Amino acid sequence: MKQFPYLLWNRNQISVPTTQELDVLLDKLTSEIKDGISQGVQLVVNDATGLLITIGSSLSHVEFYDSNGHPPVVGYLEDSTNNSELFHFFYEGEPSSVKKRSCVPIETAREALRLYLLTGQKPTNIEWQR
């Protein structure tokens, strides 16, 4: 049986019951990134939702998942001057890329994770699009 909340990264899983433990783990994982390419981590607080962010860069791609069958909801920069530039990252060991307009500052993404951990709801500190 899964014990919520937990953080997933590179096929690993660890319990993170407090925002302090979450921040410590994110700092540790960020410091271990060696290739300079961001890594995706996903926080899961219940069976119905999950929040993915990327770490390792000043920007972060953010996706909120829910179990209602809709595609993920993506956070984005309001002032996106680099709409066609790509942001590259790894998630679960697989390379991926998105347009930079679907990224936010890492501080905003980390705050979204803290809010999600505390509420179990889609964070309100980010503008969302489908």
Q: What's the mean per-residue pLDDT of the chain?
A: 89
Rounded to an integer, the average pLDDT of 19-26 is 97
Domains in the chain: boundaries? 6-125
- The pTM of this model reads 0.90
> In the predicted model, what is the mean pLDDT of residues 1-12?
87
- DSSP readout, the chain? ---SSEEEETTEEEE--SHHHHHHHHHHHHHT--SS-EEEEEEE-SSSEEEEEEESSSEEEEEEEETTSPPPEEE--SS-S-TT-EEEEEETTEEEEEEGGGEEEHHHHHHHHHHHHHHSS--SSS-EE-
| pLDDT greater than 70 at residue 69 | no
